[in-house]
Amino acid sequence: MARLALVLLALLVATLVAPIRGDKEVLVLVENTNYASTHSLFFAQLSDAGYQLDVRAADDKTLRLRDWDTWIYSKLIIFASAIHDYGGAVDSELILEFIDSGHDLLIAVDSHVSDELRGLIGDLGVDVEPKGSAVRDHVGYVQSGGEVDHTVIASGEYGAIDGLFSSGPPEASTVFQGIGMSIPSDSKQVLNALGGSSTTFSALHETAITDAPNVAAAELALVAAIQARNNGRVVVAGSTAMFSNAFWRGPLQQHLGTKHAAPGNRELCIALVQWVFHLRGQLWTSGLRHHRVGETQTPAHYRVSDELEVSLDIKELVGGVWQPYQATDVQVEFVMLDPYVRQTLSPTANGTFSTTINVPDVYGVFKFVVDYARAGYSTLELSEQVPVRPFRHNEYERFIPSAYPYYVSVLSLMAAFVLLDFLFLYRK
């Protein structure tokens, strides 16, 4: 019996432990294993960073992303643009679930993007141009010395995404060859990390154009960064080649452009990976602190018209170290159904943001709300409920000069009563 129990225990442990991996486990799905050599610089960067890459063919029949309710990997990279059916137990729905559960995804596609991947990217809020189309630039194309190809372009139109480019965007343009994308203007989650230059457009054919391009110039998204509501992150790149060794090496010479020792690909790709793996643009907060001015303890409730001090600490992950976050646009709201007060918090050098607010002269159940969502940064959503009571009867203002006649009349009435009492009873 004891032996059977031991065997069962061992089986249980094996079942629970074997498929579970740490948050550095990255599943890389590739179209073919040539990527191991053509993209070795990119993969080397990930390996050097301590990530354990499981590079698998996208149609590998043994693919698994989840073992029952446990995700086997924490991050997923898809470099399999033309894949029609994933192998094993992986499909687009599972990948969407993977993102919904807060995991990270990096997808790179090209002009041969399959309907499967197009659908997945569409579900993420990014529209990919028709299959076979390519981004072209007849003015700013890259002169490589090899074949003349105006689909090999370079763009320096990096998005104004502070969380992604915390130390500034790459100085040099990024070499790109692939398919363009567009981002719906009403999308709040999708950011254009790399747009087309002013002469870049997307075209289906390489012959004369008879219809205006669907997307061009700055509206053309070459790389899209998606910050999901649950702080999961996705990067969709329209080019697998931009991650390749060939595009990471210099020099970069654009037609009618300046020459750079190296393109910005390495810098951009590393920034994208750091961002999508939550090593950039990551904010941490201590939570809200609040108390009456002059006090230090948080009371159980506030009274209308109290003066409060609200503060919180925010830190940003910079180079692996949590450093004080610097911003002048962090706001706190005091809400009861609608915000009654919205104030900007004043920053300090140590990352503490604070302000004083006066409790409105309305009593009820209020909430302090901090909803901080900035481009490229993880969203901070804080909410704390506090009751607000009215004045007590003895908390109103006393000795009002305007009421002196009333006070005096009462007192004089009392005095007169006593006098008349004595006069009536005791005068002879």
Partner 1 sequence: MHRFVRVLPVVLGLLAISQAEVFTPKDSASLSDFVLAKAGADGLYAARSADAYHGSLALAALADKQPAHASRLCDWTVGSSYTKGGLQRLYQIVKLAAQLGCAARIDAAPAAGQALAAVANASSVDDIYYGIGTLASLHHAKALPKAIGLKEITKAMQPSWAVLKRLIMSSGLVRPQPGTQSSIQATGRAYLLLVEARNELRLQPPSDVEKAVDELVASIPKVLDGATAKGLSAAGDKDWLGGIATFLAGAAAVQAHGLDPLQLGHLARALAATKEVGTLQQAFHLATGLQALKAKSFPQALEITLATPALAIGSETPLRVLVTDFTGRPVTDASVTASSKGGSLLTDASLKSVDSSTGAYELDVLSHVQAPAKLELTVTAVAESGKPAGQVDVRVVVTDELVPSPATITVSGADSDTLQDTSATFPDAAADSTLALDHTSSLKVALGLKAASADAAFTEVQALLRLTHLASGASAFFAPKSAGDDALTITITTAGLAKQIGAHNGAYEATLLAGHETVAAPLVWLLGTVEVTHAPRDDGSPALPPPARAAAAASQALPEIRHIFRQPAARPPQAVSYLFTGLAVAPLAVLLYMLASIGVNFKGFPTEGGPLIANLGFQASILAILVLYVIFWLQLDLLTLLPILAGLLLVATVFGYSALSSHGSSHLKDQ
CB nearer partner 1, residue 294 or residue 405: 405
Q: Give the chain's largest Cα–Cα span.
A: 132
In the complex, minimum distance from the CB of residue 202 to partner 1, in angstroms, rounded to a whole number? 10
Please give the Cα distance from 49 to 62 (Å, whole number).
Answer: 27
In the complex, minimum distance from the CB of residue 133 to partner 1, in angstroms, rounded to a whole number? 13
Helix axes 115-123, 92-100, angle to 10 degrees: 30
Please give the Cα distance from 225 to 237 (Å, whole number).
Answer: 9
> In terms of Cα–Cα distance, which of 297, 271, 258 is closest to 158?
271
In the complex, minimum distance from the CB of residue 120 to partner 1, in angstroms, rounded to a whole number? 20
In the complex, minimum distance from the CB of residue 189 to partner 1, in angstroms, rounded to a whole number? 7
In the complex, minimum distance from the CB of residue 153 to partner 1, in angstroms, rounded to a whole number? 12
Count of beta carbons in the 10 Å neighbourhood of residue 19: 14
CB nearer partner 1, residue 6 or residue 420: 420
Q: Count Cα atoms within 13 angstroms, Cβ side, for 111.
A: 15
Q: Which residue type, as a one-letter code, is found at position 15?
A: T
Please give the Cα distance from 411 to 300 (Å, whole number).
Answer: 39
CB nearer partner 1, residue 46 or residue 78: 46
CB nearer partner 1, residue 151 or residue 173: 151
The two tokens of residue 353 are 């943001």
CB nearer partner 1, residue 297 or residue 394: 394
CB nearer partner 1, residue 92 or residue 379: 379
In the complex, minimum distance from the CB of residue 396 to partner 1, in angstroms, rounded to a whole number? 11
Please give the Cα distance from 167 to 161 (Å, whole number).
Answer: 11
Please give the Cα distance from 230 to 233 (Å, whole number).
Answer: 9
